[in-house]
Structure 1
Amino acid sequence: MKEASATTYSAVAKENSLKEKKQKSPFKVMVHKEIADHVRSWRFILLLALVVLTFTASLYISMGNIKNVFNNTADPDHSFLYLKLLSNTDGSMPPFHILLSFLAPLLGISMGFDAINAEHNSGTLTRLLAQPIYRDNILLAKFYSAMLMIGTLFLSLTLLMIGGGLLITGVRIEPQELMRILGFAFTTILYVAFYLSLSILLSIVFRQAATSALSALGIWLFFTVFYPILVNLIIRAFMPDPAYLTQAQIMNYNELILDILRIAPNQLYSDAATTLLMPSIRSLGPMSMEQLSGAIPSPLPLKESLMIVWPQLSGMIACSIACFALAYYLFMRREIRS
């Protein structure tokens, strides 16, 4: 009898363990719910349509100039067809990576400015925390679901561009081009991740969604429009007359201006995207004639380009982690009452 009861208990324990494995964890349930909310959200649909239309227009203009790309043998990057599809333009509109530097932050802000305060104001956050759910899973689910949507979007656009170029031109993509395009997509995702983590932080700091949205948009406008103007005005106010400076001193001042400008996330993204899409770029700072002498105008290998943009990529990663860590700290210490 004891052996039979032991066998029965083990069978019941196995059935319970199988049921627990089949049940979804609370984190996965919240991620699925957040993804469903984003898909049904009109603001995400409108921004998605805007990004797709911008991508289609840029691709159409680049396809129209495809003959000029092959005929321009003076350009060392003329053989990289698929990179030219993302960086080439006829002047009627900026290249796609320049347009993304304006549109990508809006996508991140729209997906995170009401992540916490909307739940708190509607009362669902209190009911959610009354369940056996870890508090940090809520914040992680908000960030993870938004990043999953953003990564899927830009990966789909990348594959669409490669497939469209292959069907129209019939030119086989080179492995280096594919890696550079995937690196560009990864850089864009990092750029959006910073503004997503910043908007989630502001949604914790401010109780009203409108206040957090306006604050995030104000920070974006400051770094995009006003910050370069202020840096140039301040540097020019303290910089001596260029007529009395040597070439080395002028280069030092230019490097100082670039270093201060790289505090802005959009400058980091522009430097990284331009270097990855244009292999002929050898440096992101000023170069002297001695450094340029004897240089052959040829594209750099992928490894060399990654070494150039690694400070920019690490800067965007550090900014995103810092904003999310501060948001995590404030949310874990916040007292939530009904």
Structure 2
Amino acid sequence: AVQANDPEGSFLFLKLYTISDGTLPSFFVFISFLGPLLGITLGFDTVNSEQTKGTLSRLMSQPIHRDFLINAKFVSALTVISVLFFALGFLFMGLGMVITGLPPTPEEFWRIVFFILVSILYVAFWLNLAILFSVAFRQPATSALACIAVWLFLTVFYNIIVNLIAKAIAPPAMAGTHQVLRYQEIIMTLMKILPGELYSDATTTILMPSVRSLGPLTMEQIVGAIPGPLPLGQSLLLIWPQLTGLIAATVFCFVISYVTFMRREIRSR
């Protein structure tokens, strides 16, 4: 990400969410690491646990639509996540006001609100992925292991694979600017497949208004840029592709789990 020169002391309140003293990670890094585990925990046994206990057939025998069940499972878990994140975000804001003695400016407040909304969207993806595995597998342990396997692959092993690809296709030392930019675009495209990378780009841009670009820039573009923080509207436009990717992945997982559940034959034990 390309940053402009941030004036000293500007957006001081937002720095509470991004800085770290080295002993603990910053707030948004903490959310990006533990958020997927929260979504997996709330969703890995939403459907198959009901089937294992024999209560799913009893629920379906009631005069309710079948899709009410999976919709209620998702909405209830998403409500818990939303309440938790807003409570944590505003609690952190209150602690920051007590420590610094400064209230957030209106733009800082709305940036924090959008940061919380993006965090909820990120965890909602993992929640829908866990619900999908809960519908696909009949045993909760199997769905939990599948979710953890996907999380580990996307968090650890995918980065290793991308690093190997980057080393294999790295341009020579005397490569031209166009070739170097092409190489960086390929690596960034591979990294944007990761939900965590999309979330990191979005939250970094929201919480750090000095970020002006998320892609590679030439020296001519950097020299011609006007230094200064971006307004909130421009920051949201900058991260719109990341938000679209997270929304699409979340909806895709939910649609697959919804269709699979609606077509499943449910029998009593």
Quickly name the TM-score band, shorter chain normalised: over 0.9
Matched residue, 1:309: 239
Q: Distance in 2 between matches of 1:332 and 1:314?
A: 26
For residue 296 of structure 1, report the CA deviation from its aligned partner.
Answer: 3.8
- Describe the SS at the equivalent of 1:168: helix
Identity percentage over the alignment?
54
Matched residue, 1:88: 19
Residue 95 (structure 2) pairs with residue 164 (structure 1): yes
Q: Distance in 2 between matches of 1:112 and 1:89?
A: 31
Tell me which of 80, 105, 109 is aligned to 2:40. 109
Q: Distance in 2 between matches of 1:92 and 1:203?
A: 36
For residue 171 of structure 1, report the CA deviation from its aligned partner.
Answer: 1.2
Tell me which of 123, 142, 149 is aligned to 1:218. 149
Q: How high is the TM-score relative to the length of structure 1? A: 0.76
Q: Distance in 1 between matches of 2:26 and 2:93?
A: 17
Contact 1:200 1:327 in 2 (8 A): yes
Q: Can you give the 5+ residue segments of structure 1 that lack an aligned partner in the other structure?
A: 1-73
Q: Partner amino acid for 1:130?
A: S
Q: Which has the larger helix fraction? A: 1
Paired residues for 1:241-260 under 5 Å: 242-260=172-190
Contact 2:6 2:229 in 1 (8 A): no
Matched residue, 1:199: 130
Q: Can you give the 5+ residue segments of structure 2 that lack an aligned partner in the other structure?
A: none
For residue 211 of structure 1, report the CA deviation from its aligned partner.
Answer: 0.6
- Describe the SS at the equivalent of 1:282: strand
Count the aligned residue pairs. Answer: 264
Q: Partner amino acid for 2:72?
A: A
Contact 2:135 2:260 in 1 (8 A): yes
Contact 1:101 1:270 in 2 (8 A): yes
Bigger relative CO (Cα 8 Å, ≥ 6 apart): 2
For residue 228 of structure 1, report the CA deviation from its aligned partner.
Answer: 1.5
Runs of 4+ in 1 over 6 A off after TM superposition: none
Tell me which of 109, 125, 134 is aligned to 1:178. 109
For residue 326 of structure 1, report the CA deviation from its aligned partner.
Answer: 0.3
Tell me which of 79, 93, 109 is aligned to 1:148. 79
Q: Distance in 2 between matches of 1:167 and 1:95?
A: 18
Residue 64 (structure 2) pairs with residue 139 (structure 1): no
For residue 162 of structure 1, report the CA deviation from its aligned partner.
Answer: 2.1
Quote the RMSD (CA, aligned, Å). 1.3
For residue 84 of structure 1, report the CA deviation from its aligned partner.
Answer: 0.7
Q: Distance in 2 between matches of 1:131 and 1:218?
A: 36
